Amino acid sequence: MIRHLHRKIVVTFSSRTPAMILFYCALFLLVLGCLDVFTGDYSLIVFYLIPVSLAAWFVGKRSGLLFCLLAVVARVVADEWSSISIFTHSVLHYWNVSIEFLFLIIMSLLFSALKKNLENEKMLARRDPLTDTLNRRSFFDLAEHEISRSHRYDLPLTVAYIDLDNFKIVNDQLGHQTGDELLITVVSTIRLNIRSSDILARFGGDEFVILLPDTPGDAAVKFLNKIHDNLGQAMARRGWPVSFSIGAVTYCLVPSTVDEVIRDADELMYTVKHGGKNRLLHMEIGERTHG
């Protein structure tokens, strides 16, 4: 039941704008203040944590701290209006209010830090830690979206599978640190040439995939040849004996699954590997083939 309630809260507030979330928090804080007037000496500080935590988690650290201050103001005002408490103007009372304020601040900062760490963990789980490209799982998620969009609007889609030739030689002879530097160079070279809408992912130790949405065959061949040339030049400048085998497929009628898209590009890449390496082989499904 608690898990269901937690999921319900997350779904509800995640779909709201920050302004709407702050409005709900302020409304809840007002209700608590009214209740505080009638409860007198009974502290509702735990319940004040609700709007504070919601503001800190769904809006940000500053909003959480703001509601810490508003919660304390509500507590003080409620005590002033209540004639029940005998400690309203005592040193002990203000000491208790200060402790409650400190408690709310600490909890607000903890919620903010926890949210930030959770977001960082989610980001790390979706990206390759060395090259900062998407990993295989993240690529499949985004590729499914692009496939659906291609079906909906009848758009072409190109996928390129890139394998580094002789990468093992670099690792064995020059060391893994040089190998890591090489992979980072490959990614930076590709990123200088791709569009913001293109998707780059690392699939294995020396394998990368580029998805080019809304890209017909002629444009894909021109773009990938440029990528191939730039990668070769980057390797030559560093004296690395690495070349690139690229298999690419342009779909006019996009398959329904990402697996099929990847399989077709992967098979073309292996055709290049077995046929001498270091070139681009492109196929346009349903129309013509380039190679």
Q: Which residues are catalytic?
A: 206
Inter-residue contact 162 to 209 (CB < 8 Å): yes
Angle between the N-to-C axes of helices 2-14 and 45-58, in degrees from 0 to 180, rounded to the nearest 10: 50
Grouping H, G, I as helix, E, B as strand and the rest as coil, residue 163 is: strand
H/E element holding 62? helix 61-81
* DSSP state, residue 155: -
Token digits for 262? 């990847």
C-alpha 157/C-alpha 226 separation (Å) is: 18
Neighbour order of strands in the sheet with 289-290: 199-202, 207-213, 157-165, 243-251, 280-285, 289-290
Listed residue (128, 124, 291) closest to 206, CA to CA:
128
SS3 annotation, 216-258: CHHHHHHHHHHHHHHHHHHHHHHCCCCEEEEEEEEECCCCCCH
C-alpha 14/C-alpha 25 separation (Å) is: 14
H/E element holding 174? helix 167-174
